[in-house]
Amino acid sequence: MSEIKVLKERPQPEKKIGRHVITVKVQHNFGVLARITGLFAGRGYNIESLTVGRTHEPNIARITIVVEGDERVIEQIIKQLRKLIETLRVRNITDIPHIERELALIKIHTENDRTRDEIMRLVNIFRAKVVDVSTDTYTVEITGDEDKIEAFISLIKPFGIKEMARTGTLAMVRESATTKVIMGERFD
């Protein structure tokens, strides 16, 4: 019998890189965050942002992770997160209608009255808030999704940003809405 000829190569999945929003519910135990960040660091996954906080349930914390990667990497991340003993639930909510929010504090240089007016105008349009004032700075608090914050930053940049801090994205699935876009969401 002659040997069977095999000519084909095993098909490799295509790599579609995308932004993914993953929410994780964990037992709020000592060291649980280190376990999660260690999992990412140890496997060379890149976290865009990670936020943690307690929930209304005692001893349960919620984590929102934003991560860039191809489908395979995201699938591995989710499986590895599920494997952790303290993990209660992991969801990739990227394609489910959900709310995303981020908080940023931005200290902006105020040259003169004219720039102060300009900045106030932008603050009002974006429904942000001035939370601290000095002779030559405004510190602005703004919440919204990543796009909104990015848009605000790009408009404010020319005035001179002296300091900035962002929380990273928080996300939650919408309970009732069936559409992604809700009236007023973008600038609310």
Partner 1 sequence: MKKKRGADIVVDVLIHEGVDTVFGLPGGAIMEVYDALFDAPFRNILTRHEQAACHMADGYARATGKVGVVIATSGPGATNLVTGLATAYMDSIPLVAITGQVPRHYIGTDAFQEADVIGITRPITKHNFLVTDIKDLPLILRQAFYIARTGRPGPVLVDIPKDITQQVAEYYIPSDEEVKESLPGYNPHVEGNPVQIKKAAELIRKATRPVLYVGGGAILSGAAEEVTKLARLTKIPVTTTNMGKGAFPETDPLSLHMLGMHGTYYANMAVYHSDLLIAVGSRFDDRVTGKISEFAPEAKIIHIDIDPASISKTITVDVPIVGDVKNVLQKLIKELEEKPVEWVAARENWLKQIQEWKEKHPLSYRKSDKIIKPQYVIEEIYNITNGDAIISAGVGQHQMWAAMFYKYSYPRQFLNSGGLGTMGFGFPASVGAKIGRPEKTVFAIEGDGSFIMNIQDLATAVQYRVPVKIAIINNGFLGMVRQWQQFFYDSRYASVCLSVQPDFVKLAESFGAVGLRATKPSEVREVLAKAMEINDRPVLIDFVVDREENVLPMVPAGKSYRDMILTPKQKGEAETMYLVG
Q: What are phi and psi of 45, to 5 degrees?
A: -80, 145
90 forms bridges with which residues in the sheet? 24
Q: Is 44 in the site for partner 1 (CB under 8 A)?
A: no
Length of the chain: 188
Residue from 118, 171, 173 nearest 144 by CA: 171
Nearest-angstrom CA–CA distance, 89 and 87:
6
Q: Is 133 in the site for partner 1 (CB under 8 A)?
A: no
- Rama region for 73: left / alpha / beta (φ>0; ψ in -120 to 50; rest): alpha
Per CB under 8 A, contacts with partner 1 among 12-31 are: 12-13, 26-27, 30-31
Q: Is 58 in the site for partner 1 (CB under 8 A)?
A: no
Contacts with partner 1 by CB under 8 A: the residue count is: 31
Judged by CB under 8 A, the stretch of 33-41, 95-103, 161-169, 173-181 that binds partner 1 is 33-41
Applying CB under 8 A, among 16, 19, 79, 180 the residue interacting with partner 1 is 79
Interface ranges with partner 1 (CB under 8 A): 1, 3-4, 6, 8-13, 26-27, 30-31, 34-35, 38, 42, 72, 75-76, 79-80, 82-89
